[in-house]
C-alpha cells in the first residue's frame, strides 16, 4: 500500500513540476525519465536495476538534449 501511494505521489509531483519549464528542460527531463525506466528494466534482467537506471538516465538526458538542439532551428 505504501509503495502505491509513493508511486502516485512521485508521478503527481513530476507532472506538476513541469508546468513552468522551458521546452529544453521538458525534453531533457522526459529523455532522462524514459532512459532511467528503460535502463532499470534492462538492468534488472542483467542483474543490477540501479546501475541500469543510472546508465539509462544519463543516456536519456543526453538524447533529450540532442533532440532539443536538433529541433530548435525548425
Q: What are the domain boundaries of the chain?
A: 21-74
Question: Of residues 50 and 67, which shows the higher confidence score?
Answer: 67
Question: For residue 44, how many C-alpha atoms fall within 13 Å in the half-sphere facing its CB?
Answer: 5
Cβ atoms 11, 44 nearer than 8 A: no
Read off the pLDDT of residues 28-48 as tens digits, 9 standing for 90 and up: 888 988 898 898 889 888 888
Rg, Å, the chain Cα set = 14
pTM, two decimals, is 0.70
Q: Which residue has the higher pLDDT, 18 or 37?
A: 37
Amino acid at each position: 500500500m505504501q509503495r502505491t501511494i509513493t508511486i502516485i505521489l512521485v508521478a503527481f509531483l513530476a507532472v506538476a513540476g513541469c508546468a513552468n519549464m522551458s521546452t529544453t528542460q521538458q525534453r531533457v527531463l522526459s529523455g532522462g525519465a524514459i532512459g532511467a525506466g528503460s535502463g532499470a528494466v534492462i538492468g534488472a534482467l542483467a542483474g543490477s536495476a540501479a546501475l541500469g537506471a543510472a546508465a539509462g538516465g544519463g543516456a536519456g538526458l543526453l538524447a533529450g538534449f540532442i533532440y532539443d538542439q536538433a529541433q530548435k532551428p525548425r
